[in-house]
Amino acid sequence: MDRLKIAVLISGRGSNLQALIDACAEPEFPAEIVLVISNREDAGGLDRAKEASIATEVIRLRDFDDRDLFDDALDARIRESGARLVCLAGFLWLLGEDFANAWRDRLINIHPSLLPAFKGLHVQAQAVEMGVRYSGCTVHFVRPELDDGPIIVQAVVPVFPGDDADSLSARILTQEHIIYPKAVRWIAEGRVRVSGEMVLISGTTTDEQILINPES
């Protein structure tokens, strides 16, 4: 079986990276991670990748004269690795328009809200402060705009009375670890198609594309 080669971009501890590593370790999983890149040398996810014998690279913004050169370095290293899909997993950097367009429909991200609601940072705190009853997470194709692009899969969790940002974050993170490998699997199996700004997935039901977890 030819497995889809993926690169994962991280900035922190790499818990979603670990979920992808674990999924790719399954013999029947149709993708493999060939490279992990971080823009921070102290990112904990680098150790996770090394423990799984995955190639790692640190590419720092401060080593370049401008952001375009930084993005170019990312692009060159990813292409050198042979990756055909790029997964952002807590990558704290807004990639430039040229990069996003060069990898259009081959660049995905996971975001801890039900997009298009609550974009940017600290979204769990925003959800609690706004008093929403449900929140969740979204895997989407990346577009140049912040946290924008066609939605592949979402998971819905309740926001309980007394929740704070930390408790809601933990509940959402559990679902992130489920839906990110699911999205990668669908893409690797060739079941995902983007029509306009809508994702069409063959052989799935609505329940598979929107996971609702009322008790989580």
Q: Regarding predicted confidence, which is higher, 207 or 133?
A: 133
Q: Regarding predicted confidence, which is higher, 172 or 215?
A: 172
Residue partners of 144: CB distance under 8 A and separation at least 6 = 95, 96, 97, 100, 101
126 lies in the same domain as 183: yes
- Domain CATH code at residue 116: 3.40.50.170
Active-site positions read: 111
19 lies in the same domain as 49: yes
Residue 216 has pLDDT above 60, yes or no: no
Residue 180 has pLDDT above 60, yes or no: yes
The residue out of 83, 103, 123 marking a domain boundary is 103
Residue 190 has pLDDT above 70, yes or no: yes
Residue type, 90: G
CA distances from 62 to 40, 47, 70, 109, 154 (A): 10, 22, 9, 24, 35
The residue out of 61, 76, 103 marking a domain boundary is 103
The residue out of 36, 68, 103 marking a domain boundary is 103
115 lies in the same domain as 98: no
99 lies in the same domain as 116: no
90 lies in the same domain as 1: yes
133 lies in the same domain as 85: no
Per-residue pLDDT band at 80 (split at 50, 70, 90)? very high
Residue appearing with tokens 């706004």 = 130
Q: Quote the CA–CA distance of 24 and 29 in Å, as a whole number.
A: 6
Per-residue pLDDT band at 177 (split at 50, 70, 90)? very high
Q: Which of 33, 75, 41 is nearest to 57 (CA)?
A: 41
Tokens (6 digits) for 65: 């004269």
88 lies in the same domain as 167: no
Residue 120 has pLDDT above 60, yes or no: yes
Residue 95 has pLDDT above 60, yes or no: yes
Helix (H, G, I), strand (E, B) or coil at 99: helix
Tokens (6 digits) for 188: 């690797």
Backbone angles phi, psi at 2, to 5 degrees: -80, 120
Strand 198-201 relative to strand 210-212: parallel, antiparallel, unpaired?
unpaired
Percent of the chain with pLDDT over 90: 94
Is residue 77 within 8 Å of residue 35, measured between CB atoms? yes
**Rounded average pLDDT over 189-214:** 90
- Average pLDDT over the chain, rounded to an integer: 96
68 lies in the same domain as 123: no
Is residue 94 within 8 Å of residue 120, measured between CB atoms? no
Range of 46's domain?
1-103
Residue 34 has pLDDT above 90, yes or no: yes
Orientation angle between helical segments 165-188 and 123-130, nearest 10 degrees? 120
- pTM attached to this predicted model: 0.96
Q: Quote the CA–CA distance of 152 and 147 in Å, as a whole number.
A: 13
Q: How many domains does the chain have?
A: 2
pLDDT of residue 59: 98
pLDDT of residue 68: 96
**Rounded average pLDDT over 106-129:** 97
